[in-house]
Amino acid sequence: MITLNVFGDFAPINRGIKSVSNNTAISADIKDVINNADYNIVNLECPVVYSQNVEAIQKDGPNLRCSEETIKYLKDVGFDLCTLANNHFKDYGEKGIDDTFITCKKNSLEWVGAGRNLQEARSPKVIEIKGVQIGILNICEHESSIATDVEAGSNPIDVINNYYDINNLKHQVDILILIIHGGVEHYNLPSPRMKKLCHFYADIGVSAIICHHTHCFSGYEIYNDVPIFYSLGNFFFDRIKNSTDTWGTGYFVQLQMEKKSIDFQMYPYFQCVEEPVVKLMTVNEQTVFKKSIVELNAIINDDILLAKHYQKWMEKRCRYYISTILTWSGKWFKALFRRGYIHSFVSKQNALLLLNYIRCESHRDLLIRSMKKYIDNKSEL
């Protein structure tokens, strides 16, 4: 049997910087699981940046970065591969991307999901373990990190490109693993669209699908013998105001594979709660966690119930999305604005936020639903 572990977002920020320096970020019990596996994958949620003078790109949300020390640490712990298709990979432009590639290569840490152009970013990683060929693809939602034909960056969700990449790869390997960075942040269920998308990928040849990005854990389902995990939660991602909420709770997945079959085991943990470390839950803590997973799975497996929960979430976020896009209304205001007599009250930061809402699949879903609600029920908002 082959064991392959997949971990979520690793971002050594705040207290996490010192933990990496002190070799204490990942607890001994998790290191044991890593060292006893055949292969280990982690999502590096920030680029390596050597110089303090490198300018961050303009974007919605924070710009994250790490040092070469992070790559050395991940390699020493036992990770073999970094996924780089995520919304922070291009936070420091192409210099940060180049520094990341150089550092990973220098420390013999492989990567997938990014490249110096789109064609390179689409390239899968193929490995052979115990005579079994395993293909790994990594994609992410459209935010500020995406590669183009002429720009470096991450491999995006693109149904047409993804179809061809999956179709080509599945004929070369025994098992095809798809890792997706996407979903609605801070919402512990997949949107109906995300569930439908994952089913499509399973239908065209993917053997297992694992998602991260949402900063909280979600459940899973087995669809036509394909395990689909909708969010692992943060792996190691400290924040100034942390607590024992969903930010600090997650799990990693161990895929247990034969040549044409896959089983799995989930390893739940707490991360960066009282101290900047990630460590496995106790037996009693796992009992509570597993109950939450069962409840989430029941919703995921019921399309009507899943849609209802998503609708409730949308209604909570409706005002937030609408407040971002309001601008001058009325023909006189518009005429004055077009002629330069008045300025837009939409700041550059709000424009960046709106751009992200339009291009990112999960944000766009919520934006469209919010606008429909605004049109139909303006008096209720």
pLDDT at position 4: 98
Tell me which residues of the chain have a pLDDT lower than 50.
379
pLDDT at position 317: 85
Neighbouring C-beta atoms of residue 119, cutoff 10 Å: 12
CA-to-CA dists, residue 116 to 147, 157, 164, angstroms: 7, 17, 20
pLDDT at position 344: 61
Query: What is the 3 state secondary structure string of 228-265?
Result: EECCECEEEECCCCCCCCHHHEEEEEEEEECCCCEEEE
- Residue pLDDT, tens place only, 24-40: 999 999 999 999 999 99
pTM (global) more than 0.85: yes
Please list, residue by residue across 57-67, b when 16 or more beta carbons sit within 10 angstroms of its beta carbon and e when fewer do. eebbeebbbbb
pLDDT at position 379: 47
